[in-house]
């Protein structure tokens, strides 16, 4: 099988052609640097994404911006969003505070990206 993807590792955005079969990469072309090989491999075999979203505040108006501390498996994003959407944050919150620990058993936290006094 072949997939055409854009490497988003840097602003150049090289168009990659990834050939794969039975969970193995056969070839990757179109990359300008070796990071494109890593990107193309991960994107086809185990795609991951950083979640950036907002949660409700309990004792303040408005929403608190949050993100995953690192990338999460893309195929579970809806599961993670369902967990995040049930959570509220209570001020004061510092940027970097853990809002959800170990989301979905991944070992990755959802953290605040803004301080709210
Ligand atoms: S292959 Fe290298 S140069 Fe091209 S977009 Fe990816 S990181 Fe940038």
Together in a domain, 40 and 57:
no
Task: Tell the residue nearest (CA) to atom 3 of ligand 1.
Answer: 32
Taking only the tens place, the pLDDT of each residue in 36-77 is: 999 999 999 999 999 999 999 999 888 999 999 999 999 999
Q: Taking Cα atoms as reference points, which of 25, 6, 24, 26 lies closest to residue 16?
A: 6
Domain with residue 77: its CATH number is 3.10.530.10
Task: Decide which of 30, 46, 62 is a domain's last residue.
Answer: 46
Together in a domain, 24 and 65:
no
pLDDT band at 29 (very low <50, low <70, confident <90, very high): very high
Together in a domain, 25 and 64:
no
Q: Give me the count of residues in the chain.
A: 117
Residue with tokens 């090289």: 14
Question: Count of domains in the chain?
Answer: 2
Residue 117 covered by a domain = no
Taking only the tens place, the pLDDT of each residue in 79-104 is: 999 999 999 999 999 999 999 999 99
Contact indicator for 69, 86 with CB cutoff of 8 Å: no
**Cα–Cα–Cα angle for 72, 75, 79, nearest 5°?**
80
Together in a domain, 61 and 105:
yes
Ligand 1 pocket: which of 8, 39, 42 to mutate (most atoms <8 Å of CB)?
39
Task: Tell the residue nearest (CA) to atom 6 of ligand 1.
Answer: 36
**78: helix, strand or coil:** helix
Residue 60 is predicted with a pLDDT of: 87
Together in a domain, 56 and 42:
no
Average pLDDT value for residue range 18-45? 96
Mean pLDDT (the chain, rounded) = 96
Average pLDDT value for residue range 21-41? 96
């Amino acid at each position: 099988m072949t997939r055409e993807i854009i490497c988003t590792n840097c602003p150049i955005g090289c168009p990659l052609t990834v050939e794969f079969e039975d969970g193995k990469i056969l070839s990757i072309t179109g990359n300008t640097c070796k990071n494109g090989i890593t990107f193309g491999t991960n994107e086809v075999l185990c795609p991951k994404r950083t979640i950036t979203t907002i949660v409700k505040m309990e004792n303040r108006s408005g929403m608190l911006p949050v993100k995953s501390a690192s990338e999460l498996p893309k195929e579970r994003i809806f599961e993670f969003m369902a967990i995040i959407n049930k959570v509220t944050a209570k001020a004061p919150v510092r940027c970097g505070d853990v809002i959800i620990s170990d989301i979905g058993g991944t070992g990755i936290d959802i953290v605040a990206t803004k301080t709210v006094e």
